[in-house]
Amino acid sequence: MIALSSGSSDKLLVLGKVIKPHGLEGLLRVWSYAPSEASFIDSEEIYLRAVSGKLHGYRVLSVRPHKNILLMNLEGVNSVDQAEEFRGAEVLAKYEAITREEGEYFWHELIGLKVFLDTGDYLGTISGIIPAGSNEIYVVGTGEKEIFVPATYEVVQEIDLEKGKMTISAMEGLLDLNEV
């Protein structure tokens, strides 16, 4: 087991949730919030926050897809009884351990960005993100109305996290058809 000091400044990011044990050897069935099992493998160590709130760190031995979930094997979790202790636990990893491709962002980095058209017109702030298969949809609102912006390269022109803004180009009908 890996210790994480209580005074640690390491930020942890939630990658998924343990559903239940799988088999008798201590495998965990994990519902993943990450795009692939690579996020678990690349981090090398993960932390399980039990339902009680207690945090346990483990080295990842393997992760593989199984139906619509992941099966995760952790060093030190070798039986169904040990795995059962983590039913419902959150799976976390150190923020800096997660590798991303250029142009990939965590949702929490995008929520709150101010959205502008490439003409400079202010549209609102990203208040939510809807997963929609091949791409997400950003919910952009001003408090009075909301629009839905597809997260595609054709629409999103620039994301500047330091300035807290996103620039989009308006596709025909984007601002008229999807107002709520």
Task: Enumerate the β-bridge partners of residue 17.
Answer: 31, 90
Least confident of 16-30, 90-104, 117-131: 90-104
* Residue in 159, 66, 176 with CA at minimum distance from that of residue 110: 159
Kindly give, in sequence order, each residue whose CB lies less than 8 Å from that of residue 5, ignoring residues fewer than 6 positions away.
none
pLDDT for position 176: 59
Integer Cα distance of 180 and 19 in angstroms: 36
**Could you tell me the residue ranges of all domains in the chain?**
12-97, 107-171
Instruction: Share the mean pLDDT of the chain.
Output: 85
pLDDT at 174: 67
Q: Are 91 and 80 in contact (CB under 8 A)?
A: no
The per-residue pLDDT for range 109-146, each reduced to its tens digit, is 899 999 999 999 999 999 998 877 778 899 999 878 89
**Residue the block writes with tokens 């995008």:** 110
CATH number of 107-171: 2.30.30.240
Task: Pick 125 or 175 by higher pLDDT.
Answer: 125
CATH level 3 topology of 12-97: Elongation Factor Tu (Ef-tu); domain 3 (2.40.30)
Instruction: Specify whether the CB–CB gap between 160 and 153 falls below 8 A.
Output: no
> Does 35 have pLDDT greater than 60?
yes
Task: Please give the single-letter amino acid code of residue 55.
Answer: L
Residues 66-85: tens digit of each pLDDT: 888 899 999 999 999 999 99
